[in-house]
Amino acid sequence: MTSSSNDVRASASVTQLEAEGLVDARVSPLGSLENLSQREVQQLLSAGHGGVYEMFRRCALAVLASGLESDDVRAIFDRYKDFEIRLGRQAWGVKLELKNAPSSAFVDGSMIRGIKEHLFAVLRDIVYIHDAILGTTRFDLTDPASITNAVYHILRNARILDYRGKPDLVVCWGGHSIGSTEYDYTKRVGYEIGLRALSVCTGCGPGAMKGPMKGATIGHAKQRIRDGRYIGMTEPGIIAAEPPNPIVNQLVIMPDIEKRLEAFVRCAHAIVVFPGGAGTAEEILYLLGILADPANADQPLPIVFTGPPSAAEYFGHIDRFIAATLGAPAQKRYKIVIGDPAQAAREVLRGVETVRDYRRTKSDAYNYNWLLRIPPDFQRPFEPTHEAMARLDLRRELPPNLLAANLRRAFSGIVAGNVKEQGIKAIEERGAFELHGDKEIMRLMDELLSAFVAQKRMKLAGEYRPCYRLVA
């Protein structure tokens, strides 16, 4: 199957390809990269032949395969192991030539518009990051201020920062592996957020990342809001396990999990946390860890933990863990709302208004929180090897912000062992990661992680085998 300009045109091989769930196609840009200079075209063509290609291929396949009910990245890559994607030149820019692509990305011979937008967003961000961020001396990625500046430039290039209205962006975190009751609740909260003319940003995947966006579209429709923002932020290591859901209308790929987390908190005017697993715990620890810095003592950033009545036990576990590790000051930073979507949205709206007043008083930007201080321990990329995980210092006598940083890394490693290809491979080759800490910290982590496993929050389907071992 081939295409002319934006459409896919049938060929003699269509029947066999579709029977195998595969499609060959040629697509032109949509949403990004429609008009390029000849120099930019040449840069993209050169990138397609370098070390960036394999990363682009995997991210592109994740986008094209979105909707598959699986977080087993290797199963996805094995299923489409013959998938190829090539950059070609046309008069006004570039085109993509796809071979053996998932047929689910097409309807009646044409690529779904949203998937096409996401595909070219992936190309835009990966090339920009490797050319303008990593491939230059302009940004010193060991310097905290330079890292923050690099995050800003990536978001600006993706046009995430084009919005010039009053603060309205609600970042929603939560698990990709949640049950129908919790998923329906995330939609109800999203609906209440949409009715209050607020926009939604998530990690862009399924579950608690999709539900709030789905609900917000209905709330926006009732309020006749036609330009609602549904922003998805991801990174190459996790996009295959959590591919962009179809509601995302602005997608951005960040270089790593730390810059993704910084992008969330720099853009957020409020944060809602739904039930989740190790990844959600990582996000919570990151957020509370940076807010524990004395420089952020006066920073208003409303945080609401919310879920249906069945999630009360989940948030009880989270609350007890935070109290025992980071202490009462961290607990004061968030509110827990159980079983009341409208109240959760009201808390968010009040908080957003406080943020607007604070930013106006401090002359800070509405669309990017420059005044928030993020300590270097939360900015430096953490590679979860067996050695790095075993070296993590997990003791109660550490200062709360340092303990939060190390706990965040521990949960980040567990996420890698659960759903990231490199982490899964490392676990298979060398066994479970070992985490060392004092007896009380290990007991608290065991209680929390055991609850996640019992509540089936670690994996979408199949039996979960822990990728970690706790050593007191």
**Which run of H or of E encompasses 314?**
helix 312-325
Asked if the model's pLDDT at residue 4 lies above 70, the reply is no
Q: What is the mean pLDDT of residues 239-262?
A: 92
Q: What is the mean pLDDT of residues 252-263?
A: 96
Q: What is the mean pLDDT of residues 201-226?
A: 96
Asked if the model's pLDDT at residue 360 lies above 90, the reply is yes
What per-residue confidence (pLDDT) applies to 239? 86
Report residue 94: phi and psi, to 5°.
-120, 165
This model's pTM is above 0.75: yes
d(CA 419, CA 241): 6
pLDDT grade, residue 92 (50/70/90)? low
Max Cα distance, the chain (Å): 69
- Paired with 319 in beta bridges are none
Domains of the chain by range and CATH?
2-133 (3.30.1850.10), 163-376 (3.40.50.450), 377-471 (no CATH)
Q: Token digits for 360?
A: 């106006």
DSSP code for 469: E
Asked if the model's pLDDT at residue 282 lies above 50, the reply is yes
Which amino acid does the sequence have at 127? V
What per-residue confidence (pLDDT) applies to 128? 87
d(CA 299, CA 146): 21
CB atoms within 10 A of CB 395: 13
What per-residue confidence (pLDDT) applies to 91? 64
Q: What is the mean pLDDT of residues 47-76?
A: 74
Query: 152: which residues sit within 8 A by CB, 6+ positions away?
Result: 161, 266, 368
Question: Euclidean distance between the first and final Cα of the chain, in Å?
Answer: 58
CB atoms within 10 A of CB 35: 8
Tell me whether strands 433-436 and 335-338 are parallel, antiparallel or unpaired.
unpaired
d(CA 335, CA 461): 31
pLDDT single digits (tens) 416-467: 998 888 899 999 999 999 999 999 999 999 999 999 988 888 876 677 889 9
d(CA 354, CA 348): 10
pLDDT single digits (tens) 9-28: 333 233 334 445 788 888 88
Which amino acid does the sequence have at 296? N
Sign, Cα dihedral of 125, 127, 129, 131: negative
d(CA 241, CA 48): 24
